[in-house]
Amino acid sequence: MIDLVTSMNDKIFEKYGKDNLKTFNKYLSKDLRLNIFFEGEIPENHGLDEKKIRFHKFQSNEWNIFYKKFGFLQEANGMKFTRTVNDDDTFTLTVRGPDYRWEAVKFSFKVFSVRLASQLEDISSKFCWIDADTLCLKKITSKELSKSFPRDNELMSYIGRDTYPEDFPHMEAGFLGFNRNHSHFDSFMKTLTGLYVTGEIFAYDQWHDSFLWDRAVDMFTILDVKFRCLSEKYVSYEHPFAYIAVGKLFDHLKGPDRKEQGYSSERMQDNITAAE
């Protein structure tokens, strides 16, 4: 059994989650299992195969500490305030947002859900994160999915980007593969959750999860920890997910435009055919 992990709340479930989950219910093979960490009351009578898809209530003491400290701040919910000193010793306050770059609370659920998943007694030694705005394109087996996982000497696989966004490139974190048996895995996850609990996250230029995964990769690469970038020649693309191996299995409907049209226009033609 190999596990996939995602998170949802009522709003996401009703807007697109329940429709996307139907594709997982249809296409996941018996050796794959999707774990959903649900914020709020778990929906009843969802009609999904519980052997393939199981719900967990999102319950994290670490996240609760973070939220009690910072959750109600505008700065943690999409706003950024910058104070500059003028020549006459007065101050000018610049307000930017709302913007995804500073939505610390919204994107915190991914990091803490991965942490919670890794602590499940029956979680697979290698598992992956998949964003809730993703759908399956065809029948998926553990053998196919494992091709995008980290190797035994690697901690995590990810979809890197080196030129997008232009102001500060960061990975496309719709898919992340994890090696729970890696000797640095626990310290890697504790470092990430610690950024939230201590508030250190707000010392960075951006506070969304993709930016923070990159910073954690940078920190642990210095320690000679190995990571696997899946992007290959598509690393400079805006949506590399659609072009690589994992994009033959899933379509990540990243952003409002892709959600509205129901597919990624960048997706290769053979993937479109597979979906049909």
pLDDT tier at 44, thresholds 50, 70, 90: confident
Structure confidence at residue 34 (pLDDT): 98
Q: What is the distance between the terminal CA atoms of the chain, rounded to a whole angstrom?
A: 27
pLDDT at 269 over 60: no
pLDDT in tens, 168-220: 999 999 999 999 999 999 999 999 999 999 999 999 999 999 999 999 999 99
Structure confidence at residue 97 (pLDDT): 81
* Spatial contact of 188 and 116, defined as CB atoms under 8 Å apart: no
Residue 72 DSSP code: T
15/133 Cα distance (integer angstroms): 10
Structure confidence at residue 268 (pLDDT): 55
Tell me the mean pLDDT in the region 213-232.
Answer: 97
Structure confidence at residue 273 (pLDDT): 40
The rounded mean pLDDT for the chain is 93
Please, what are the domains in the chain?
A: 2-69+108-275 (3.90.550.10)
Tell me the mean pLDDT in the region 24-49.
Answer: 94
By percentage, how much of the chain surpasses pLDDT 70?
Answer: 97
pLDDT at 271 over 60: no
**Which tops the pLDDT comparison, 268 or 32?**
32
Q: How far is CA 214 from CA 142, 207, 219, 229, in A?
A: 27, 11, 9, 11
pLDDT in tens, 126-174: 999 999 999 999 999 999 999 999 999 999 999 999 999 999 999 999 9
170/215 Cα distance (integer angstroms): 9
Determine if the pTM surpasses 0.85: yes
Average the pLDDT over each of 27-36, 198-207, 252-261 and give the range with the smallest value.
252-261
